[in-house]
Amino acid sequence: MEKNRAVAAPVTVFGAYGHTGRFVVSELLDRGLTPILSGRDADKLRALAAEFPGLDVRPASAGDPDALDRALAGAAAVINCAGPFAETAPPVIEAALRARVAYLDVAGEVEAAADSFAHYADRAREAGIVVMPAMAFYGGLGDLLATAALGGAPAADGIDIEIDIAFALSSWRPTAGTRGSGQVSRRRREGRRLVYADGRLELRTDAAPTGQWTFPAPVGERAVIGEFTTTDSVTIAHHLSAPGIRTFMTVDAVREVLAPEAAAPEPVDDRGRSAQTFLVEVTVRAGATRRRAVARGQDIYAVTAPLVVEAVSRVLAGETKAVGTVAPGEVFDAHAFLTALAPQHLSYELGAAEPCG
């Protein structure tokens, strides 16, 4: 992996003491970048700083614009790791716009990511900055896999694309942040479920479909829930003509994440990762051809850190194709990006194009 491409200015991590934020802080340091520790709880920030001596601590809450401005002063970018993102993304993006620095977040909330794309595209472009929502396991990874599988040519030809994304998690112990974000989303949906269909997000009251999905070895055939809409539908649809994006999640993982008694992730290695493993299979159909891309790894929260830090490193190095509110597959070479993360952070396989059966 190419490291230390951009070391000129520090990166503010908002929500640095959270479960994912701590992984992001460690990943930035591993790459020679300097995190600024920020978030609303000053005591937790100081405790985190004791583990990483010498880092700047700048308490700030989403409701305090002046404190957010101080948190971003002198930074080159901000990574927002503090959910619920429906509440934190707008004020932190506003602060990034005022400071004219790049903004990235790890939002798993579909509506929050969609709002960021919808509300800040023009202003981010005018400010000349990158705003990149959902640069995480959900959102960023699926978008990169789909873009890599597509290869670019069919989109240029105006061919509609169908994309299937299937997630197999060995378990899903939710963090406090995941629980909080889920509660916000459920209140917003008022008992309905969110589905991406015919090129747009819509709310439905019927039951989600179920079925079987045959994953690559060693996972094999598993029961899945269909229309398990994730932020991948938002990031992919932002830049690809893909009216058909279907998402599937293993049934056991859905049961676990929704269980009231589900325990939080527990570290099992020196990097703080849990024992959870994941496999993401993306199938892209464009015209008469089909291609698959697969990613495997350990701990969906931990792998978010190299995803978002790789992205911010490329943004700071000027390796983006555009500014504005963007998806990773839109502005990065998706295949090169994923290859850069392998094999240290995940395994990545890109199959050959084959005719649709």
CATH number at residue 195: 3.30.360
Domain co-membership, 229 together with 284: yes
What's this model's pTM, rounded to 2 decimal places?
0.95
Same domain, 109 and 197: no
70 pLDDT more than 50: yes
SS3 273: coil
User: What are 19's two structure tokens?
Assistant: 């479960």
CB within 8 Å of 117: residues ≥ 6 apart? 133, 234, 238, 325
- Lowest-pLDDT range, 116-130, 176-190, 289-303? 176-190
Percent of residues, the chain, with pLDDT higher than 90: 85
Residues 161, 296 share a domain = yes
Say whether both 326 and 258 belong to one domain.
no
Residue 133 corresponds to which tokens in the numbers above? 């929502």
Mean pLDDT computed over 183-204: 92
Phi, psi of 59 (to 5 degrees): -60, 145
Domain shared by 128 and 263, yes or no: no
Q: What's the average model confidence in pLDDT over 33-52?
A: 97
pLDDT category, 20, cuts 50, 70, 90? very high
pLDDT of 6 over the 50 cut: no
Does 103 share its domain with 22? yes
**Could you give the CA distance from residue 335 to residue 68 in angstroms, rounded to a whole number?**
35
| Under 8 Å between Cβ of 25 and 85 | no
* Of 277, 78, 281, 262, the residue nearest 178 (C-alpha): 262
Please tell me whether residues 123 and 256 are part of one structural domain.
Answer: no
Distance, CA of 330 to CA of 43 (rounded, Å)? 39
pLDDT tens, position by position, 281-309 = 999 998 889 999 999 999 999 999 999 99
Confidence band of 158 (pLDDT split at 50, 70, 90): low
Sign of the Cα torsion 139, 196, 236, 275 reads positive
HSE-up of residue 291 (Cα within 13 Å, Cβ side): 20
The pLDDT > 70 percentage for the chain reads 96
Structural domain boundaries, residue 37: 11-136+304-331
User: What is the average pLDDT across 89-117?
Assistant: 97
In this structure, the answer to whether residues 154 and 264 fall within a common structural domain is: yes
Contact criterion met (CB below 8 Å) for 21 and 15: yes
Residue 226 and residue 102 share a domain: no
Q: Could you tell me if 253 and 314 lie in one domain? A: no
Are residue 148 and residue 292 in the same domain, yes or no? yes
Q: Is residue 320 located within the same domain as residue 254?
A: no
Domains identified in the chain, total number: 2
* Per-residue confidence (pLDDT) for residue 243, from 0 to 100: 85
